[in-house]
Amino acid sequence: MTITDINIAVIGLGYVGLPLLALLSKKYECWGLDKDSQRIKYIQCLNKKKENKDLDYINCNKLSTSWDDIKQSNVFIITVPTPIDSNYNPDNSSLIDVCKELGSIISKNSIIIFESTVHPGATEELCIPIIEEISSLKVNKDFWVGYSPERINVNDKFHQLSNTPKIISATDKKALEIMELIYKSIIDAPILKASNVKVAEAAKMYENVQRDVLIALANEFSEYCHSENIHISEVTALASTKWNFAEVYPGLVGGHCIGVDPYYLLHRAKELNVSLPIVNMARCVNESKCEYSSNNICEYIRETISESKDIRILILGFSYKANCNDIRNTKVFNLIEHLSKSYKNIDCFDPLVDSNLVLKEYNLPIFSNMCEVNFNIYDILIVAVKHKEFENIANNYKNVIFLNDFL
């Protein structure tokens, strides 16, 4: 397969798949597939309005919800979500569904590249057997499989897909060579070849688990600082002047990666009878932070605002991190749940998120339009997410507090 023979289909057009499709479309004939027809319409609308130049190269006539439309492709890149369920177990249902569909459409000499985050071993032990069974084809003989973990940081203007080192791996040398060819043509950063698929899968796990552990340490040390009546921010700023100190601050750990991937690793470790006490404890520390912060805020309100349960509270920000509209696994929802045990008049405002999506996913009505909010009727404003839109909020209204001060 040469560069002129490559016909790509990106499957899953969310926060990972869409920017990948946009970048690949500059060089290759590409289809974009997503099971959500509303998502397809949204991308087509963005493209038509020319609001995002990165999407200009996407062919809107090649966006589809039908697997039949991508049958002629010979490179399939999988970027579907791999979340956790309500019991913190891996939910691979979307990945399994994709493998079943692929098994029914792929032809000989196809290459399948998985970018979705999975536990080590999943590509070869879960995905490939499904594809082989349904297609009656054999990996490394009739088709090839690679794994290249996504490393996108949502709404990061500096660390983007095009300038972030790309890890690639494959079950066969031929697939690895083609993967290198494809990614080298769109990424202006090193292409890093892992010795095998499991190593690449583990590297992605380690990236996010390490981050989770470091934040857990910061969260735990923050609680200690409270007991000494000192602030973790000042302590961290001073400690970080040493060259080998990791400058990590406390926070609520949500989102689609750091708050999810450790559970995939823990699940896999349990299957192998391996104990990971530090990883497990880090999850416990970070998951407990919403309740801890809520308790601190409630105490502050009782001491400085009012002992009444009827005061009105406005939470500012709902996304899982600042300056983005991503609400996946946002811990602000959990914070609101805890605060609601003590106070019944709580509203939330986030100008960046889709309030209809929040209502659908969390059954929580929130404000997303400034015109809907009368800030003056609230007894206290809690900045839960530091969007740029909230930078001057403390100067304009009284009784404004920041979640970071209660972590």
Task: Report the run of H or E that residue 169 belongs to, with start and end.
Answer: strand 166-170
Residue 27 phi, psi dihedral angles, 5° rounding: -120, -25
Mean pLDDT by runs of 10 across the 407 residues of the chain is 80 94 93 94 80 79 94 96 92 97 95 96 97 97 96 80 94 94 95 97 96 97 96 96 96 92 97 97 97 96 94 97 93 97 96 95 95 94 95 86 94
Angle at which helices 128-135 and 93-105 pack, to 10 degrees? 30
Quick one: pLDDT at residue 270? 96
Q: Domains, the chain, ranges and CATH? A: 7-194 (3.40.50.720), 205-282 (1.10.1040), 289-406 (3.40.50.720)
d(CA 329, CA 310): 29
Catalytic site residue from 30, 99, 127, 257: 257
Quick one: pLDDT at residue 97? 97
d(CA 188, CA 184): 7
Quick one: pLDDT at residue 76? 97
Tokens at 77, concatenated:
């890149």
Nearest C-alpha neighbor of 170 from the set 115, 126, 208: 115
Nearest C-alpha neighbor of 197 from the set 144, 154, 255, 159: 144
Quick one: pLDDT at residue 4? 63
Nearest C-alpha neighbor of 37 from the set 15, 63, 57, 17: 63
Alpha carbons within 13 A on the beta-carbon side of 200: 29
d(CA 123, CA 264): 13
Quick one: pLDDT at residue 1? 60
- Assess whether 257 carries a catalytic annotation: yes
Q: What is the DSSP string of 115-141?
A: -S---TTHIIIIIHHHHHHHH---BTT
90-123 burial: b if 16+ Cβ within 10 Å, else e: bbbebbeebbebbbebbeeebbbbbbbbbbbebb
Nearest C-alpha neighbor of 187 from the set 148, 150, 161, 168: 161
- Whole-structure pTM value: 0.92
| 151 CB-near residues (< 8 Å, 6+ apart) | 161, 164, 165, 166, 167, 204, 207
Quick one: pLDDT at residue 395? 82
d(CA 372, CA 123): 47
Give me the amino acid identity at 126.
Answer: L
Quick one: pLDDT at residue 3? 61
Quick one: pLDDT at residue 158? 82
